[in-house]
Amino acid sequence: MHIIDVNSQILKENSRLAEENKKLFAKYDLHVTNFMSAPGAGKTTVLEETIKRISSKYKISVIEGDLRTSIDSERIEALNIPSYQITTGTVCHLDARMIHNALHDFKLEGSDLLFIENVGNLVCPADFELGEDLKAMVFSVVEGAEKPKKYPVMFHSVEVVLLNKIDLIPYSGVSLEELISNVKEVNPSAKIFPISCRTGEGIDEWIDWFIGKINSK
């Protein structure tokens, strides 16, 4: 079908650019993480909590992707972390070219880690490689235990899933056991961390794993 052909051309070109990004990241000896989620799952808050715990050891830069506004970028800059806002307009994902173009203005020399916060969307960010080392997903438990089954491509594409807002479980009626089992069903090798940015539960476990990941690169 024609539409599928066009899509595969776009994705092919995107993969080519992602490879170029990868080479550039390797030149800077940079570890790059792409954070994806639905809107409101807590990506920026997870980034803030992660940054607070590791910024004394690592030099961090952040690229923020949103349709509009620089609200998230400003939150990151408030932590004294350089942040670059990509506003995509109507495009519901980041692609490799957007990252490539950002790097013309946003200098990464001297950084150890780059965090990319993708546009909030559970669908197409999963299809667009950015040249990252690690794909991470933030999922708010109140989105419902059935979502891994409904959005398997995203859940399958990531190496780690942060099940955020577990402090809200008592109010949501969502079963954490059922959610974890559904994540495992679509991605048996995913590393899963139930966390709460509000109480701090699970954050240290995620950080320990992440630091192990950086060191094993």
Q: Which residues bind Zn ion (CB under 5 A)?
A: 92-93, 124
Q: How far is the CB of 156 from Zn ion (least distance, A)?
A: 17
What's the token pair of residue 177? 């056991």
Q: How far is the CB of 95 from Zn ion (least distance, A)?
A: 8
| CB nearer Mg ion, residue 43 or residue 135 | 43
Binding status of residue 48 toward Mg ion by CB under 5 A: no
| CB nearer Zn ion, residue 46 or residue 124 | 124
CA-nearest of 129, 115, 124 to 45 is: 115
Measured CA to CA, the distance from residue 31 to residue 118 in angstroms comes to: 16
Maximum separation of any 2 CA atoms in the chain, in Å: 52
3-state secondary structure of 193: strand
Binding status of residue 121 toward Mg ion by CB under 5 A: no
| CB nearer Zn ion, residue 63 or residue 203 | 63
Determine the straight-line distance between the first and last CA of the chain, rounded to whole angstroms. 40
| CB nearer Mg ion, residue 141 or residue 145 | 141
Q: Exactly one of 21, 33, 34, 44 binds Mg ion (CB under 5 A); which one?
A: 44
Q: Which does 93 bind (CB under 5 to 8 A by kind): Zn ion, Mg ion, none?
A: Zn ion
Binding status of residue 43 toward Mg ion by CB under 5 A: yes
Contacts (Cβ under 8 Å, ≥6 apart) of 141: 163, 164, 165, 166, 168, 169, 172, 174, 176, 179, 194
Amino acid at 182: N
| CB nearer Zn ion, residue 60 or residue 124 | 124
Binding status of residue 93 toward Mg ion by CB under 5 A: no
Q: Exactly one of 30, 35, 51, 72 binds Mg ion (CB under 5 A); which one?
A: 72
Q: Which residues pair with 117 in a beta bridge?
A: 35, 64
Q: How far is the CB of 122 from Zn ion (least distance, A)?
A: 11
What's the token pair of residue 105? 């203005």
How buried is 9 (Cβ within 10 angstroms: 0-12 exposed, 13-18 middle, 19+ buried)?
exposed
Q: Which residues pair with 66 in a beta bridge?
A: 87
Site string for Mg ion, 143-172 (x = CB under 5 A): ------------------------------
Q: Which residues bind Mg ion (CB under 5 A)?
A: 43-44, 72
